[in-house]
Amino acid sequence: MFDILRNPDVSWALKRRVYDTQIRAALEWFANRDLAELARAAKEKSGAGPDKVPAGPSEEPGKKEKTGSPGDSNDVPPQNEDVRSSMEAGTEKGEGEPNALFRVAPFYGGYYRQLVFGIFDSGTLKWGKTQNEFRDVASEAYNPVEARVMLGKIRGSVPLALPLPYDWTFDSESVKTDAPEGSMEIQRNQDGLWYLRVNADGIFTYEIRAGSRGRISENAEFPKMSIQGEIDAELKNKIEALKRQNLPSLKLKREIVKLVRNHLTYSNSADAWAAYAKNPAEFFTVLWKCKEADCFVANTMALRALAEIDGNARFVSGYFVKERNAAGQAIMHSGNGHAWLEVWDSLSRRAIRLDATPKGDSTMDEETQERDLDGESGEGDYGEGGDDELASEEEVKRQIKEMQKKGGGAGGKKKERSAADLEAEQFAQAAECTPEEAREFLRALERVREIKDERGNSISELMKDEWRKIIEERKIEARDYRGPVRMDEGSRLEDPVSARIDIRSKEFNPTGFERDEMVEKVESDFGGINIYFSFDLSGSMGKPDSATGRRKADVQRDAALLFVDSLMQCAYMVRREVHETDLLPLKLMVTLASSRGEVRLHLTDKWTAKEQWALYSALIQLASGSTPTHQTMQLIEVDFDKEMNDLKKKRVPKEKLPINYTAEITDGGPDNFEATEEMHRKLKSKRMTVRSFVIGGNSVSEDAAPPLRSFSQLPQILARDIIEQFRKLHPQKIKV
């Protein structure tokens, strides 16, 4: 089995089938077994037996709280959704080790997001939130091989928000509890946060599995925050100075948060809080002068500063887990509760995490915090024992199909659907994705078609215009002879015998004549163009683009979608204008360099919903691994050789072979430069044009394109290069 996977002569499709049918199930079985063992060990450590959920009603009194008993428990998390500063009197930490409120095994550290707030009360200095609107939970694909199990307690009759790392999801079908059968619900609110609820009185235990999402999806834009209060003139002037630098929106917001963080000093001083609260109307001005702040105060200050730009930000509370306990678990307790903020990025349509907490908080990992502020984290965190590989596209589709089956057959009155909803449903059905994923893709497609060059011209339209010129200029007028026709329709006699027979039969409008017609044809004295893409989805792509501040993977995603969509529209124009698919062909291939080289679109001129979703779902994977560009070049060679062999079998003359062009795009260069250059030489020996686009550095490749400072320059430069390939076709009108 593993020999098949290692064999370079075995097709990727066969390897994928072997993995899906024989290996994946085994890996998931081992992962599930390990998670079950970890959960059992955690329960034993908490006093429960190895074969049951802890805290059942048969427990001996005194060992731990009896299920369903009234009263408080120190290891039951608060469910009132209030958030307070550690500087306030009465919030001081007690002596001794705090009790675990949530446990995650095996360990996974970093930010655990639990609640979000968008309304700051300047009178009470408290953050508030809109009322929860709970929605049905839809299954999401996640990687079971790197899954974790969360354990804890919940008080009945009140919803409990569950903390979760960024870009993770819960397995809603994995919940186990000692609550009465059928009494536990798992829900999500309008902010996408997860909640448990037990519809019974008492205190109960639970466990639930979680893992990283198989794909990164767009978020729903959150409401603008409400925050008021005067800020110090010094801060206002510094914000104005940053605004004058004309920074991209996301980068400007990062700089403002860094400005606030660097100005403040970490403190839990109750005296400082008393000074701030003495006159709430002057909270921000006194704070700026006093400078003492904890995570609550600092991020509130940063949000007020961000309000000078726009209101697209919000306050977040949860936990920051830095160290594991003796059992190798991540523990969330009152001592590592934390607050930070999120800003909305309209381009990637995602919430971006930023943290203004000053240096000096011993519970924080300042490197993680600073990477966020510099945009280098890719919104990820850290764990152990997991594989970097995410769920495959096939696994995502399988999970979606299962979800659709579960949702099928539901009754109820049909709602009126908009044209956009109908379009999304039709796309989802054809692409085998969910309607929400379809809407996300269609929004992205609409967005990238608006990308313009430095002159304000639509790049998509520029490429289509160049290809349209080629189609028009290859059209020629040719004399076509149609027959046989009747004498009154013809222009000359072609078949005297047929005409004589008709005349003898007393037919005064005999057949046997031919008619001349002038028709438009497309001269096919060249073979079109095949374009091969190698995109970079390595770990460094999670860092920010230097020009826009957005994740490089997001900028590349838009550029990739722009080019593939534009070029596929060119291919469609050929079929529409020429009505023959073998003339003026334009074909594309897409590969990705991540932990390994992968083909996402084999060489094709099709751009149906399936191809569109296959490409998009690949480009929104979490960036991870290295940059094995030599492998993508090898994959390109396979499709190239197959195409050339097919043309050879069709006896296509050498002068009518297509132009072949490879665009290799990397962030800083490939891992194995020599192997990649060798593949360049090999492809060029077969009449392939290769261009190496290196972002953020100077390439020493002999095929290097002009250096690009950021991914935001890619659309314009690459469009110019592809248009040059179009012009190699030397369009000129053929005269008859």
The per-residue pLDDT for range 360-369, each reduced to its tens digit, is 998 898 888 8
Distance CA 323, CA 566 (A): 49
Amino acid at 489: E
Q: Does 581 share its domain with 678?
A: yes
**Residue 42's pLDDT band (cuts 50, 70, 90):** low
Q: Which of 387, 402, 436 lies at the terminal end of a domain, its last residue?
A: 387
Containing domain of residue 618, as a range?
459-470+524-727
**Residue 12's pLDDT band (cuts 50, 70, 90):** low
Q: Does 103 share its domain with 237?
A: yes
Q: Does 358 share its domain with 503?
A: no
How many distinct structural domains can be found in the chain? 3
Closest C-alpha among 598, 586, 587 to residue 535: 598
The per-residue pLDDT for range 428-438, each reduced to its tens digit, is 888 888 888 88
Q: Which of 354, 369, 387 lies at the terminal end of a domain, its last residue?
A: 387
Segment among 120-129, 152-161, 399-408, 651-660 with least mean pLDDT: 399-408
Burial of 132 (0-12, 13-18, 19+ CB in 10 A): middle
pLDDT of residue 349: 76
- Give the dihedral sign, CA 62/64/66/68: positive
Q: Does 547 share its domain with 495?
A: no
Q: Does 624 share its domain with 544?
A: yes
Residue 41 lies in a domain: no
Closest C-alpha among 600, 616, 710, 624 to residue 218: 616
Q: Does 538 share its domain with 500?
A: no
Half-sphere exposure of residue 602: CA atoms within 13 angstroms, side-chain side: 8
Mean pLDDT of 169-183: 90
Distance CA 679, CA 683 (A): 6
Residue 141 lies in a domain: yes
Q: Does 513 share its domain with 608?
A: no
Distance CA 360, CA 366 (A): 9
Residue 322 lies in a domain: yes
Q: How many CB atoms lie within 10 A of CB 482?
A: 13
Q: Is the pLDDT of residue 40 over 70?
A: no
For residue 106, say if its preceding peptide bond is cis, omega within 30 degrees of 0: yes
Q: How many CB atoms lie within 10 A of CB 655?
A: 8
pTM across the whole model: 0.56
pLDDT of residue 542: 78
The per-residue pLDDT for range 284-327, each reduced to its tens digit, is 999 999 999 999 999 999 999 999 999 899 999 999 998 888 88
The per-residue pLDDT for range 477-509, each reduced to its tens digit, is 444 445 566 666 666 556 666 666 666 666 666
Q: Is the pLDDT of residue 412 over 50?
A: no
- Give the dihedral sign, CA 173/176/180/181: positive
The per-residue pLDDT for range 539-581, each reduced to its tens digit, is 888 787 777 777 788 888 888 888 788 777 776 665 555 544 4
Better-predicted residue by pLDDT, 682 or 15? 682
Residue for token pair 């991020």: 299
Q: What is the CATH number of the domain that holds 577?
A: 3.40.50.410
Q: Does 487 share its domain with 570?
A: no
The per-residue pLDDT for range 59-104, each reduced to its tens digit, is 333 333 334 444 446 789 988 899 999 999 655 554 456 789 999 9
Any alpha helices (H) in 512-608, and if so which ranges?
552-578
8 Å CB contact between 56 and 178 = yes
Mean pLDDT of 322-346: 90
Alpha carbon of 255 to those of 273, 285, 288: distances in Å? 26, 20, 17
Distance CA 703, CA 226 (A): 53
Average pLDDT across the chain, whole number: 77
8 Å CB contact between 211 and 169 = yes
**Residue 26's pLDDT band (cuts 50, 70, 90):** low
Give the length of the chain.
736
Q: Does 542 share its domain with 664?
A: yes
User: What's the Rg (C-alpha) of the chain?
Assistant: 32
Q: Does 497 share its domain with 621?
A: no
Q: Is the pLDDT of residue 586 over 90?
A: no
Mean pLDDT of 410-421: 55
Tokens standing for residue 529: 């163009």
**Residue 268's pLDDT band (cuts 50, 70, 90):** very high
Residue 563 lies in a domain: yes
Residue 452 lies in a domain: no
Q: Which of 487, 503, 520 lies at the terminal end of a domain, its last residue?
A: 520
Q: Does 599 share its domain with 493?
A: no
Residue 421 lies in a domain: no
Half-sphere exposure of residue 546: CA atoms within 13 angstroms, side-chain side: 10
Residue 44 lies in a domain: no
The fraction of the chain above a pLDDT of 90, given in percent, is: 32
pLDDT of residue 18: 60
Mean pLDDT of 196-224: 85
Mean pLDDT of 688-715: 79
Q: Is the pLDDT of residue 17 over 70?
A: no
**Three-class DSSP category at 386:** coil
Mean pLDDT of 513-526: 52
Distance CA 436, CA 711 (A): 28
Residue 104 lies in a domain: yes
Q: Does 514 share its domain with 580?
A: no
